[in-house]
Amino acid sequence: MAWDFETDPEFQEKLDWADEFVREEVEPLDQVWSGLEFTPLDGNRRRAVDPLKAEVRRQGLWATHLGPELGGAGYGQLKLSLLNEILGRSSWAPIVFGCQAPDTGNAEIIAHYGTDEQKERYLRPLLEGELFSCYSMTEPHAGADPTMFTTRAEKDGDEWVINGWKFFSSNAGTASFLIVMVVTNPDVSPYKGMSMFLVPTDTPGVDIVRNVGLGGEPLGEGSHALIHYEDVHVPEEALLGGEGQAFAIAQTRLGGGRIHHAMRTIGMAKKAIDMMCERALSRETQGSLLAEKQFVQGYIADSYAQLTQFRLLTLYTAWSIDKHNDYRRARKDIAAVKVVMPTVLHDIAWRAMQVHGALGVSNEMPFTGMLLAANVMGLADGPTEVHKVTVARQVLRDHRPSEDLWPTEHRPKKVAAARAKLADYLEHEVGNQ
């Protein structure tokens, strides 16, 4: 019976190495170059980061979710999940290990749907960490509902011409190319009339109107762009996966993005628990340590239980993706992970912040950033409410309505059925009385 919660010793050694490597070599990058993770490396940063990337490659941990033919180790989603729990502690770690969002999801769809020429031009330098990408999907008026998208691509000879607006296109400001989801046939269902294009960011007509930041960032700064595509001409070979294939591609792209976010969120939440426990054991008030206060003990116990449940669901979902090699087969569980993720991070970060008191709400600790990240996770790759609907629909498919007026478990009906089944024994019992 295959049922095991242990990691094989060989990969555990790699995880132990990664844990120490991230703590000692990578996390210092977060302190001195925060916010520059998705900026192309310059002289000083390159001298610091390139040797770290080289060491990750020597350890066989570069882009582990991709196959050897694409420069990865082919470890799959489950091992990536175990690794991402460590990388989630640091904003620079995914860059150093070649598995940063949104590039992991973008790399997967180019690997799966791209032509040889597209892989050579976009995928290989993406995997080398020499450039970044942007998934340009959301529109200002439509939010996360692709059926309302209006950005169009129309055929003009051997070219396509793109016109429209996109919003919250993450990392567009530093990306070398965009994956743009557009309407190519408005006369059919949106599920069949949308396509994706690979568009270099320096293509004439691509106008990054402004960068949008998260709460607390100054206006005009941030990494999420409002983009105007105005008469953007791209060749036929810019089409990714074929005309009308955008929804099929999006399921691969977004499914991967959702589970990868969850993996990294485990690491972030675990870091919050570690900080909470350290504070509880270090701070004394009203005659005893915080760790001896029942309220604080409740915070710690609730956080541990919440994270453990979330982690097991995430690992199970990653295992399911590997087993079926198909994100669609794990759709229900991916959606469930997406639903649970923001609440887990929010609750644990809030408790940790409370235990730190005034220091916890200051900019000298990371908790307010974690709380904002939790809100972002509730919206990224589709809002939580949409995924709750997905989970419910998928669960309901495994159930059937009652065949008559009363529920199946209605006790009078169950008693009558049981008495009918055991009638011979009941009659014998009466006869012996």
DSSP string, 155-218: EETTEEEEEEEEEEEETTTT-SEEEEEEES-TTS-TTTSEEEEEEETTSTTEEEEEEE--TTSP
**pLDDT greater than 70 at residue 432:** no
**pLDDT greater than 80 at residue 1:** no
Please provide the average confidence, as pLDDT, over all residues in the chain: 91
Enter the CATH code of domain 133-240: 2.40.110.10
Query: pLDDT tens across 314-323, in order?
Result: 999 999 999 9
Is there a contact between 49 and 41 (Cβ–Cβ < 8 Å)?
yes
**Given the structure tokens 């008191």, which residue do they identify?**
357
Listed by start position, the domains of the chain span 9-100, 133-240, 247-396, 404-433
- Per cent of the chain over pLDDT 90 is 71
How far apart are alpha carbons 291 and 276 in whole angstroms? 10
How far apart are alpha carbons 89 and 306 in whole angstroms? 18
User: Quick one: pLDDT band at residue 382, thresholds 50, 70, 90?
Assistant: confident
Q: How many CB atoms lie within 10 A of CB 193?
A: 18
Least confident of 93-107, 234-248, 290-304: 93-107
**pLDDT greater than 90 at residue 215:** no
Q: What is residue 203's predicted lDDT score, i.e. its pLDDT?
A: 97
Q: What is residue 71's predicted lDDT score, i.e. its pLDDT?
A: 67
pTM for the predicted model, two decimal places: 0.87
Q: What is residue 349's predicted lDDT score, i.e. its pLDDT?
A: 98
How far apart are alpha carbons 381 and 261 in whole angstroms? 10
Query: pLDDT tens across 152-200, in order?
Result: 999 999 999 999 999 999 889 889 999 999 999 999 998 899 999 999 9
Q: What is residue 429's predicted lDDT score, i.e. its pLDDT?
A: 66
Residue 329, helix vs strand vs coil = helix
**Given the structure tokens 């059937």, which residue do they identify?**
400
Mention every residue, 6+ apart, whose C-beta is less than 8 A from residue 109. 179, 196, 240, 241, 249, 252, 253
Mention every residue, 6+ apart, whose C-beta is less than 8 A from residue 413. 406, 407
Query: pLDDT tens across 130-165, in order?
Result: 788 999 999 999 877 888 999 999 999 999 999 999
Most confident of the ranges 145-149, 241-245, 247-251, 382-386: 241-245
Q: Which amino acid is at 274?
A: D
CA 84-384-308 angle, 5° bins: 40
Residue 152, helix vs strand vs coil = strand
Is there a contact between 38 and 171 (Cβ–Cβ < 8 Å)?
yes
Q: Could you report how far apart the first and last alpha carbons of the chain are, in Å?
A: 49
Q: What fold characterizes domain 247-396?
A: Butyryl-CoA Dehydrogenase, subunit A; domain 3 (1.20.140)
φ, ψ for residue 432, nearest 5 deg: -90, -5
Domain spanning 9-100, CATH architecture: Orthogonal Bundle (1.10)
Look at residues 14, 93, 44 and name the one whose alpha carbon lies nearest to residue 260: 93
**pLDDT greater than 70 at residue 207:** yes
User: Quick one: pLDDT band at residue 64, thresholds 50, 70, 90?
Assistant: confident
**Given the structure tokens 């080289």, which residue do they identify?**
54
User: Quick one: pLDDT band at residue 301, thresholds 50, 70, 90?
Assistant: very high
How far apart are alpha carbons 176 and 180 in whole angstroms? 13
DSSP string, 284-299: EETTEEGGGSHHHHHH
How far apart are alpha carbons 319 and 82 in whole angstroms? 11
**pLDDT greater than 60 at residue 431:** no
Mention every residue, 6+ apart, whose C-beta is less than 8 A from residue 378. 341, 342, 384
Query: pLDDT tens across 265-274, in order?
Result: 999 999 999 9
